[in-house]
Amino acid sequence: MYGGGNSFEAPAINERPEAENPELLAEFEARIERGEKIEPSDWMPALYRKQLIRMIEQHAHSEIIGALPEGTWITRAPGFRRKLAQMAKVQDEVGHGQLLYSAAETLGKSREEMINDLINGKSKYSNIFNYPAFTWADSNVISWLVDAGAIVNQLANAKGSYGPYCRALDRICAEESFHLKYGHDAVVHLATGTPLQRKMVQEALHRWWPPLMHFFGPPDKMSIHTEQLMRWKVKMASNDDMRQQFLDMYVPKIWELGLTLPDPLLKKNLETGKWDYTEPDWEEFKRVINGDGPCNKERLGVRKQAEEKGAWVRRALLNPQAKYVQPLA
Ligand code: FAQ
Q: What is the pLDDT of residues 151-169, one digit of tens each?
A: 999 999 999 999 999 999 9
Determine whether 268 is exposed, middle or buried from the number of CB atoms within 10 Å of its CB (0-12, 13-18, 19+). middle
Distance CA(45)–CA(228), nearest Å, equals 12
Q: Domains along the chain?
A: 17-318 (1.20.1260.10)
User: Out of 2-16, 244-258, 309-323, which region has the weakest mean confidence (pLDDT)?
Assistant: 2-16
Reported as a pLDDT band with limits 50, 70 and 90, residue 322 is confident
| Across 95-110, average pLDDT | 98
How high is the pLDDT of residue 329? 62
Give the global pTM: 0.94
* Pocket perturbation via mutation, ligand 1, pick of 1, 2, 180 by most ligand atoms within 8 A of CB: 2
Q: Nearest Cα to 226, choosing from 249, 242, 209? A: 242
Residues with CB under 6 A from ligand 1: 2, 6-8, 54-55, 58-59, 62-63, 66-67, 93, 124, 126-127, 142, 146-147, 150, 153, 157, 214-218, 223-226, 229, 235, 239, 289
* DSSP secondary structure of 201-220: HHHHHHHHHHHHHHHT-S-G
Q: How many CB atoms lie within 10 A of CB 174?
A: 9
The residue whose CA has the least distance to atom 53 of ligand 1 is 55
